[in-house]
Amino acid sequence: MDVIPHSEHTPARLKDQQPEVRPLAKRRWRWLLWLLLLVLFCATTAAVIYELRTSRLQSRELSRYAATLTYQLEAGPSQAVRFPEAGPFDQRLGYTRLPALLARLQQQHFVVEQQTQFSSALLNYSQHGFFVPYTEKTRAGLSLHDCRAEPIYEHFYPQRHFARFDDIAPQILNTLLFIENRTLLDTDQPLANPAVDWPRFAKAALSQVGRALELQDDSAGGSTLATQIEKFRHSPGGMTHSAGEKIRQMISASVRAYQLGPHTLAARRQVALSYLNSVPLAAAPGHGEVHGLGDGLWIWFGAELERVNTLLDPTQNAGLPLAEQGLALRRVMALMIAQRRPSYYLFAGRHELETMTDSYLRLQAEAGLIAPALRDAALAERLNFRDFGAEPVLQRVEGSKLLHASRGRLAGLLGLSYYELDRLDLQAETTLNARLQQEVSHYLAQLANPDFARDIGLYGERLLSPEKTAEVRYSFTLFERDNNSFKVRVQTDNTGQPFDINESSKLELGSTAKLRVLTTYLQLVAELHRLHAGKTLPALRELAPHPNDTLGRWAIDYLVNHPDRSLDAMLTAALERRFSASPHERFFTGGGLHTFANFRKEDNGRRPTLTEALRESINLPFIRLMRELVRHTLYQDEQRARLLTDDRDPQRLTYLSRFADKEGTVFLRRFWNKYQGKTGEEQLQVFFDGLRPLRSRLAAAHRYLLPHAELHEFTAFMRARLPWDHKLSDHQLEKLYHQHGPGAWSLPDQGYIARVHPLELWLLGYLRQQPGASFADAVAASAEQRQEVYGWLFKTRHRSARDSRMRTMLEIEVFSEIHERWQQLGFPFEQLVPSLATAIGSSGDRPAALAELVGIILNEGVRLPVVRINSLHFADRTPYEVHLAPNPSRGQRVMQKEVAAALRHALSQVVEGGTARRLQGSFSLNDGTPLVLGGKTGTGDNRIETVTRYGQVIRSQARNRTATFVFYLGERHFGTLTAYVPGEQADNFRFTSALPVQVLKGMEPILRPYLQPGAQTQCQRQFAASEGSPRNEG
């Protein structure tokens, strides 16, 4: 056996061979790795290309995710909802305003009945800033209904639109897609994402890079129609301000596209429909923003969408002029191009728009989308834009009182202009019954016809004559009482003007004020009963009311002398008290001596009970009753009463100082509340509106409040405020200007001259200098003035003069306290005229406010909120949907039940045998049962009178004449009817409150069906959605 020799070099050879093996292995692995990477890259590329072509993966995943983004309508306010913060579409429809609107409505006693709740996924999605996905409305606006859900007013925006995708003419659709998104409706890609056109997006991205590197000036747009819609609807300002905003638009559009499932053809059709109906096309003069092709065609060219659609639909345009078809195509093409820069192309850039339109028409023909003949016809036409000066775009709104009352009330409730209101996505239901309102409005309009007026019975003494029927204006309001509110069912007049006499006027309604005086009187009687009825006879006999407190003395005497101490019995006795009707007495009131007269001279020698005086509307008993109320209020306050006693009491100065500080603070608070929340100009407006327009009063107040005003400013103010027949010469005005200048009078003297409380003057002046001051600041700053206001009483030598001025000031204070009582019962104004003449109407009133008082009486002394809006339904079938209704209040007791019963009986006497007796028996139920009626009449002869210092009238000029009947009809209905003649022509009329009573009597056949028990004025609330119902549809 051979032996292989061993050599020490053998291992070395083997060593030399190993390095050759290892590099080879590494190379093999490296090639394998690259091969795997290549395969992976190819697979990924193929998958991406496949995905880009089919959208299969994103359609599956995005549709699954979108299915979790839900919301539903549930009872009560939402704890999981997020409102949009910007975006023209969301702003116009009011979605961005909803948080503020809901807060405002809740402050005005509305409650949220139902509101959408977001799912946790949707809430998280929206909190990341993405736009909430739902099928958005292409058309929305204000919809007003009456209490029966009958439409009153509908303003849908845009006004001209395509209702369905299938309504769009093929040529219009092709024009849109050719310019903006040619593959949008590709049926070969059922899962396509309409939010992204990848080639277009890549081109746009590269152009943005080139622009950033300053390699090119303009960047290409990468937006599809879907992302454009997201942009002009939801992005701030309708613009893309950053790359992040573009990504947000694309993601939001993608999720919206797959919300209905992975197949997107229906969503893509919706994109085209939405775009055509909502594309922004600038703002037109006299119209405002223009959205949608339909409104764009009409506003910019005067072309109707329906006609244009017919011209561009091959199935309908056979035989129609080719030139007209060409013009229609040109207009559509121009608007689709103009949407890129509408504010430029539709104004200054019209020539450039014509050129671009020509280019696209040629390109469209080259692509085979339009016939050469149609192209040539379109090229031969020019764009004739509307001349807004010669042909303004008018939005006519029906001028009915029903619409003015409803729409105006809603605008005020929401704090919006009519323009903003009409564009809200809102359904509102009013309490008005449109059918009844129209019947009553027609009836009132017919009263101008002499023959109809004769048939109704309006001719005769203290009524009308045939030649004057057309000059009288009538106003009617009808309320219905339910368990929670006073609902306005009718509010109309025959003026033909938006101004509402019922709610917006300040009229002297004459003897209707007696009802307010009698109410205050019975309330005071009830308060005295509560104070003294439980006392023993010895305790009652020890009471010593002030000798001038006649009412206090009577109450004690009644309780002492009558075993039946019940409140009902005492109120009945109070109404049976007798007061003189003699006019032969001069009354010191309002700073001077005045006399008053009865309507009928035959009443002058009578001494009627208060029930009789109310029933027959006798003036002087109520003047004397008002004086009794003033004195009782004055002498109930012992500190105030002492001011009119011992003039030499050494404690008087010390007492006066304490009194001034305490009382001054009370009145300062009252005036602070009066002006709180008003601007400086509004404060002055309220103050001067309540001031009687006499030269000295106006001058004193103006020079105090506006001490730096120039003479020409003072002159303009005085001439604007003084009645026409009280105009002054320049010399007289200059004299007044200097006579009442700063420093000429003390603060108390200024108040006395102006016949206002001096502290009211001071506070207004202080607030003009310190508009941001608090009440505590005002109290601290007025310490000296509070002393000054009362201290001046001791600076004159003559006690009679001192007492006279003291009585005037105290009368002002007392009327301020009476005013607080009246306000609790709905009196609409900021102050009363401090005069006994308030008892017969000199402080003015409003028909609707008087009706509310009767409603309180009918409701047994409980004041319920007056409701004119039944429900508000915002954003129907959107994620922001919310339903509101008036808060079902239990009401506020403002009058004792027994007082209300006594007043109701007294009002019934006015119909049974008083000034409204012609109404007796005229209303009945369907079964013949007479309807219980009651009310109060009043005639206001509003005049400007010049009187001597002794109260003698030396000149009288008519301003207006009113006759009012405030009434209740049965258990649930009440209201007012007012006849009114404005201006100097009122001197030619002598009608009294018999006129509105007769007019109401003639209205009985109209009102009867609505007054039946259980009829609810034939009203039913309709807007009620089921709780918890899904709301994912748009």
Taking the C-alpha atoms of residue 652 and residue 640, their distance in angstroms, rounded to an integer, is: 11
pLDDT at 512 over 80: yes
Which is it for strands 486-493 and 866-867: parallel, antiparallel or unpaired? parallel
Q: What is the pLDDT of residue 133?
A: 96
Mean pLDDT of the chain: 87
Looking at 735, 766, 795, the residue that finishes a domain is 795
288-297, 391-400, 667-676: range with lowest mean pLDDT: 391-400
pLDDT in tens, 860-882: 999 999 999 999 999 999 999 99
- Residue 108 CA to residue 102 CA, distance in Å, equals 10
**What's the Cα-to-Cα distance from 629 to each of 336, 522, 524, rounded to whole Å?**
76, 10, 8
The answer to whether residues 837 and 597 touch, using CB atoms and an 8 Å cutoff, is no
Residue 895 pLDDT > 80: yes
pLDDT of residue 53 exceeding 80, the answer is no
Q: What is the mean pLDDT of residues 839-845?
A: 90
Flag whether 20 is in a domain. no
The pLDDT confidence band at residue 327, using thresholds 50, 70 and 90, is very high
Please report whether residue 217 resides in a domain.
Answer: no
- Give the residue from 426, 422, 416, 414 showing the smallest Cα distance to 103: 414
pLDDT confidence of 748, banded at 50, 70, 90? Answer: confident
CATH of the domain at 326: 1.10.3810.10
Which of 114-128, 367-381, 856-870, 949-963 shows the lowest per-residue confidence on average (mean pLDDT)? 949-963
Give the per-residue pLDDT at 636: 86
Q: For residue 950, is pLDDT > 50?
A: no
Residue 1011 lies in a domain: no
Once rounded to an integer, what is the mean pLDDT over residues 199-220? 54
The alpha carbon torsion through 949, 952, 956, 962 (nearest 10 deg) reads: 110
929 within a domain of the structure (yes/no): no
Q: What's residue 1031's pLDDT?
A: 42
In a domain, 121, yes or no: no
Give the end of a domain, one of 736, 769, 795: 795
Instruction: Please determine, for residue 942, whether its predicted confidence score (pLDDT) is greater than 70.
Output: yes
pTM of the model: 0.80
Say if residue 905's pLDDT is above 70.
yes
Report if residue 851 sits inside a domain: no
**For 327-341, 934-948, 1001-1015, which range has the lowest pLDDT when averaged over its residues?**
934-948
Question: What is the per-residue pLDDT for 807?
Answer: 73
Judge whether 115 and 883 are in contact, CB under 8 Å: yes
Runs of H (alpha helix) within 513-651: 513-532, 537-542, 550-561, 567-575, 610-616, 619-636, 638-642
| Average pLDDT of span 716-743 | 86
Report the C-alpha dihedral over residues 144, 149, 151, 153, rounded to 10 degrees. -10
Kindly report, residue by residue over 74-93, the tens digit of the pLDDT.
999 999 999 999 999 999 99
Q: Helices marked H in 181-313 — which ranges?
A: 198-212, 225-234, 243-257, 265-278, 293-296, 305-311
Mark residue 386 as left, alpha or beta (left: phi above 0; alpha: psi -120 to 50; beta: remaining): beta
Token representation of residue 564? 């039946």
User: In the predicted model, is pLDDT for residue 940 greater than 50?
Assistant: yes
pLDDT, tens digit, 9 for 90 and up, residues 1019-1034:
865 443 333 333 443 3
Output the CA torsion sign for 652, 654, 660, 665.
negative
Q: What's the pLDDT tens digit per position in 445-459?
A: 999 999 999 999 999
The residue among 358, 375, 391 that closes a domain is: 391
Over range 734-752, report the average pLDDT. 89
Residue range 399-447, pLDDT digits in tens: 677 888 889 889 999 999 999 999 999 999 999 999 999 999 999 999 9
Domain count for the chain, please give it: 2
Reported as type and span, the H/E element at residue 858 is helix 847-858
Half-sphere exposure of 572 (CA within 13 A, CB side): 8
Task: Judge whether 358 lies within some domain.
Answer: yes
pLDDT for 702 equals 94
The overall longest dimension of the chain from CA atoms, in Å, is: 173
Tell whether omega for the bond before 693 is within 30 degrees of 0, i.e. cis.
no
Q: Which domain holds residue 679?
A: 641-795
- For residue 1034, the model assigns a pLDDT of 34
Three-state DSSP at 536 gives coil
Asked whether residue 792 carries a pLDDT value surpassing 60, the answer given is no
Interval 949-966 mean pLDDT: 70
pLDDT in tens, 558-607: 999 999 999 999 999 999 999 999 999 999 888 778 899 999 999 999 99
pLDDT single digits (tens) 656-695: 566 667 778 888 988 998 898 889 899 999 999 888 888 8
Average pLDDT over residues 215-219: 48
User: Given a cut of 70, is residue 291 above it in pLDDT?
Assistant: yes
Model confidence at 188, in pLDDT bands (50, 70, 90)?
Answer: confident
So what's the pLDDT on residue 207? 57
In the chain, DSSP finds a helix count (H) and a strand count (E) of 42, 19
pLDDT classification of 5: cutoffs 50, 70, 90: very low
Q: In terms of pLDDT, which residue wins out, 293 or 48? A: 293
Residue 644 has pLDDT above 70, yes or no: no
The residue ranking higher by pLDDT, 394 or 795, is 394
pLDDT higher than threshold 60 for residue 184: yes
Neighbour tally for 174: CB within 10 Å: 18
Is 415 part of a structural domain of the chain? no
- 129-160 as b/e, with b when 16 or more CB fall inside 10 Å? ebbbbbbbbbbbbbbbbbbbeeebbebebbeb
Helices (H), 617-729: 619-636, 638-642, 652-675, 680-689, 695-705, 711-721
pLDDT band (50, 70, 90) for residue 6? very low
What confidence tier does 637 reach under pLDDT thresholds 50, 70, 90? Answer: confident
Region 939-955: mean pLDDT is 58
Of these ranges, 51-65, 582-596, 619-633, 687-701, the one predicted with the greatest mean pLDDT is 619-633
First to last CA, the chain: 101
The residue among 394 and 856 whose pLDDT is bigger is: 856
User: Residue 208 pLDDT > 70, yes or no?
Assistant: no
CB 830 within 8 A of CB 820: no
